[in-house]
Amino acid sequence: MSAYDPSNVFAKILRGEMPAHKLYEDDETLAFMDIMPRGDGHCLVIPKKPSRNILDVVPDSLGAVMVTTQKLARAVMKAFGADGVTVQQFNEPAGGQIVFHLHVHVIPRFDGVSLKPHTGQMEDQDVLAANAEKIRAALAG
């Protein structure tokens, strides 16, 4: 397994070097919209501490990520009136990982609706902003 690379896109988001539609933040985690969503409301949860993936993350950081993941799962279900939620996490290239900073995908799901394929196509920023606002409102109560 390779070492953590602090120049990855999520580390840059954490440092404020790249923009993101932020949804939730606490001392240990950050949640934001996925810019290449596989469904409306697709968001990501990351730890603030550097970790490449689940294989090297410290247990406390992993625990914080899962607590935030649960908050976001509940919020996206409410915000989009979803029938379910998919939570995904990939490790290393053979496991499907593309960005090498631990991250968890949270995707609202609807009966009979398949996930969009991962094409690398970026979503319109206005759509991401509108979806982010729905999720932030659901988080607020």
Could you give the 3-state DSSP secondary structure of residue 76? Answer: helix
Name all domains of the chain by residue range, CATH numbers in brackets. Answer: 9-140 (3.30.428.10)
Average of per-residue pLDDT across 4-22: 97
Which listed residue (21, 42, 101, 103) is catalytic?
A: 103
Q: Which two tokens stand for residue 85?
A: 């939620």
Could you give the 3-state DSSP secondary structure of residue 49? Answer: coil
42 is catalytic: no
- Identify the pLDDT of residue 41: 98
Closest CA to 73 of 82, 60, 62, 64: 82
- Identify the pLDDT of residue 2: 87
- Identify the pLDDT of residue 119: 86
Average of per-residue pLDDT across 21-44: 98
Edge-first strand order for the sheet with 29-33 is 22-25, 29-33, 43-47, 104-109, 84-88
